[in-house]
């Protein structure tokens, strides 16, 4: 597929292009233009015009258009899913799941378009004030820059673009250079459904050129970004006075309490699936597992037994359970982190081998020191760390040994332990008797510490993507 930029409804091709490769075997999927600062400026120019056109749409219009876009996307599910698999390397089953979630995210955004409202302000609650009545309302910001990651290029784009358009904003989307083609398809669907072409723009290329120009443009009122902590900090340092929503990853921790022996098969399988889905390239992948000493050996045996049943291979095959990581550089880094941990005293009990340039076995590593990158960083690969703890208090301490705080989980039958864990663990979401990888698209989703600022989920993203306008009437006049 020959990709292009969408600026003001016009398809923009360039002589200088970037190849998009199928991560599994490095075959060429397509190309995209290598955009630059001028492309970003033109896209913002178009988006400013698009914002004026968005003002002509009623809340019902925005609801109807987003609902139609969801139907179009649903009707093209397999086509979009196949492209997702070829760009990302996730299995076709995972891609079909992402398309389904994206349809739901657009549908939720459509519904929220009808619910954006303010409320009355009691001005006379202040001393000496009489005869003043009024209210506040939520109004759109204007142009929103949406910078999206490689791992969920469809649904995470919907999480930014759906609420932005529902609220009446216009958007400039800068997708990952690894996975831009499906984002272009989504933008075309939104325009086909009825949004003004100037309101939905896509610029492609590298972040240091086209992305940086988008961030620096003072006319862009908000940047919503999903990616690394380091890039998020750069964006906020360069973007200046605008709003930000930042989802910056994690190394999610989960605790298995001593009372879980009866359902240990279920718990161990669930945790492994949470660590190896999309080859571990999920912001809330299970990475650090803390198991009560009483169950530790039994848990490891069952986790290893389940992991060995997973079929690793071509993600386009329906029977494949896990595919590749995004590129060779990512695989190099993951293997380096595993080797560092082993050199420091950790032990591989399952996997640990590289099957090809980009395919790594699902790997379980135990007794991992707390100062190695496999424990402190975000591995973003198919690796689970499992360490022993002796109590829920120790588990809380270990989970909190992280600069991140996106989501965490606990498996326990003890209500007090569950409440203690949910109160004391520093994370934006706590899952009780569920893995931290759990997310539904309507929930508030976001982190604390270096996991970011702001919340996603259409209702909550709309709050981020609007501002309050207060209106006061003096009825004494």
- Which residues are part of the catalytic machinery? 247, 283
Among left, alpha and beta (phi > 0; psi -120 to 50; other), residue 341 is alpha
Alpha-carbon distances, residue 263 vs 267, 379, 386 (angstroms): 6, 28, 18
Of residues 323, 248, 254, the one with CA closest to residue 25: 323
Among left, alpha and beta (phi > 0; psi -120 to 50; other), residue 117 is beta
Work out the burial of residue 172: count CB atoms within 10 Å of its CB; fewer than 13 is exposed, 13-18 middle, 19 or more buried: buried
286 SS3 class: coil
Among left, alpha and beta (phi > 0; psi -120 to 50; other), residue 65 is alpha
- Alpha helix (H) residue ranges in 254-412: 264-276, 296-307, 328-343, 373-376, 392-399
CA atoms within 13 A on the CB side of 132: 14
Confirm if 147 and 223 have CB atoms less than 8 A apart.
Answer: yes
Distance CA 435, CA 394 (A): 19
Distance CA 342, CA 79 (A): 42
- Alpha helix (H) residue ranges in 89-147: 92-113
Q: Residue 359 contacts by C-beta under 8 Å, 6 or more apart in sequence?
A: 24, 312, 313, 323, 324, 325, 331
Alpha-carbon distances, residue 395 vs 266, 275, 291, 303, 349 (angstroms): 20, 18, 8, 19, 22
């Amino acid at each position: 597929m020959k990709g292009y930029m969408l600026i003001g409804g016009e398809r923009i091709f360039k002589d200088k292009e970037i190849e998009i490769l199928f991560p599994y075997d490095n075959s060429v999927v397509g190309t995209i233009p290598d955009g630059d600062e001028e492309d970003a400026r033109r896209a913002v120019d178009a988006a400013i015009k698009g914002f004026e056109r968005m003002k002509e749409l009623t809340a019902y219009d925005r609801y109807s258009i987003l609902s139609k876009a969801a139907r179009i996307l649903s009707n093209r599910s397999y086509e979009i899913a196949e492209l997702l698999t070829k760009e990302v390397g996730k299995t076709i089953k995972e891609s079909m799941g992402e398309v389904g979630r994206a349809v739901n995210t657009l549908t939720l955004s459509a519904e929220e378009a009808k619910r954006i409202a303010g409320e009355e302000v009691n001005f006379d609650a202040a001393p000496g004030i009489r005869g003043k009545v009024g209210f506040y309302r939520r109004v759109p910001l204007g142009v929103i820059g949406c910078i999206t990651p490689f791992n969920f290029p469809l649904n995470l784009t919907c999480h930014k673009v759906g609420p932005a358009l529902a609220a009446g904003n216009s958007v400039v989307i800068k997708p990952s250079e690894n996975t831009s083609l499906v984002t272009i398809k989504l933008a075309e669907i939104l325009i086909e459904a009825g949004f003004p072409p100037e309101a939905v723009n896509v610029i492609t290329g590298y972040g240091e050129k086209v992305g940086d120009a988008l961030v620096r443009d003072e006319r862009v009122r908000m940047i919503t970004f999903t990616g690394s902590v380091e890039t998020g900090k750069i964006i906020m340092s360069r973007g200046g006075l605008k709003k930000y929503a930042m989802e910056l990853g994690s190394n999610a921790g989960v605790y298995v309490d001593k009372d879980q022996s009866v359902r240990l098969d279920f718990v161990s399988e669930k945790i492994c699936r949470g660590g190896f889905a999309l080859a571990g390239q999920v912001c809330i992948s299970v990475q650090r597992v803390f198991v009560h000493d009483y169950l530790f050996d039994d848990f490891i045996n069952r986790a290893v037994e389940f992991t060995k049943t997973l079929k690793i291979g071509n993600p386009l095959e329906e029977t494949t359970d896990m595919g590749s990581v995004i590129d060779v550089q990512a695989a190099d880094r993951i293997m380096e982190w595993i080797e560092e941990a082993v050199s420091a005293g950790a032990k591989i009990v399952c996997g640990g081998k590289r099957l090809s340039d980009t395919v790594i076995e699902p790997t379980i590593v135990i007794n991992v020191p707390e100062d190695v990158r496999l424990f402190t960083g975000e591995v973003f690969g198919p690796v689970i760390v499992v360490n022993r703890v002796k109590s829920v208090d120790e588990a809380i301490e270990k989970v909190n040994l992280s600069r991140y705080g996106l989501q965490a989980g606990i498996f326990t039958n003890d209500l007090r332990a569950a409440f203690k864990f949910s109160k004391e663990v520093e994370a934006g979401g706590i899952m009780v008797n569920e893995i931290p990888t759990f997310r539904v698209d309507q929930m508030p989703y976001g982190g604390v510490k270096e996991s970011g600022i702001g919340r996603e989920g259409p209702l909550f993203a709309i709050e981020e993507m609007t501002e309050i306008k207060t209106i006061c009437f003096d009825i004494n006049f």
